Amino acid sequence: MLALMCIVLLGGYSVNVAVLDEVGTKSSSTHYEVWGAGCQSSVIGGSTSTAYRARYGFFGHFAERELGVEEHQTEPIVTALKGIRPNPANGPVHINYTLASNGFASLKIYDITGRLVKVLLNGRIRAGKYELRWDCTSAHNKLVPAGVYFYRFVVDGKPIATKKLVLVR
C-alpha cells in the first residue's frame, strides 16, 4: 500500500505529518523527524508500525533512516507566578515566573505586616520563562528572621499574583 504523506513545518521546531490512504481520507496524524525540504508531497512505502523507513522523497534519494514517532506538546507561555521552592525554606529560595509578552515587571518580598523587605525585580523584561534566587536577605543585605513572607508579581502595573513563603531557621 502506498500512502500520501503531506508535511507541514510549524514554527521551525516540529513537523506534523498526516498519512492519507488511497482515497484521500485521513488515516493517522503524528510527529516525525524529517530532513531535507519541507512543505512538499512525497510518496513512500507504507507500514503499520510506528516507525517508517523512508527511501525516496523530496526530489531525491535518501539513505535508509528510521523515523520514530515522537509526541511534543508545547505549552503556551502565559503571564504567571509559578511558585517558590523550597517552601517552607531555611535558606535561599527559587521563584519561577513566566511572561507572555515584553513588559515592565516587579517581584517584591513583603513581611507579615506588609512592610517591603526586598525588591528582586523591577524593570522591563522580555517574554519568557524565568527563575529568580532570593538569598533571604533584606534590602540592607541582612538575613531576615524566620516567619511568614509574601512575594508579589506585578506586570505593567497589574497585580498578577501574591503568594506565601514560610521561612524557618
Each residue's pLDDT tens digit, 53-101 = 444 444 444 444 555 556 655 667 899 999 999 999 999 999 999 999 9
Q: Does the structural domain 80-167 have CATH classification 3.40.50.300?
A: no
Helices (H) and strands (E) in the chain, counts: 0, 13
User: Under a CB-based contact definition with an 8 Å cutoff, are residues 122 and 87 in contact?
Assistant: no
Give the list of residues 6+ apart from residue 63 with CB closer than 8 angstroms, or none. none
Joined together, the cell numbers standing for residue 11 give: 514554527
Comma-separated ranges of CATH 2.60.40.4070 domains in the chain? 80-167
The residue type at 147 = G
Each residue's pLDDT tens digit, 91-145 = 999 999 999 999 999 999 999 999 999 999 999 999 999 999 999 999 999 999 9
Nearest to 43 by CA among 23, 63, 26, 19: 19
Each residue's pLDDT tens digit, 16-30 = 555 555 555 555 555
User: Under a CB-based contact definition with an 8 Å cutoff, are residues 119 and 129 in contact?
Assistant: no
Whether the model clears a pTM of 0.75, i.e. scores above it, the answer is no
Dihedral sign (CA 127, 131, 135, 136): positive
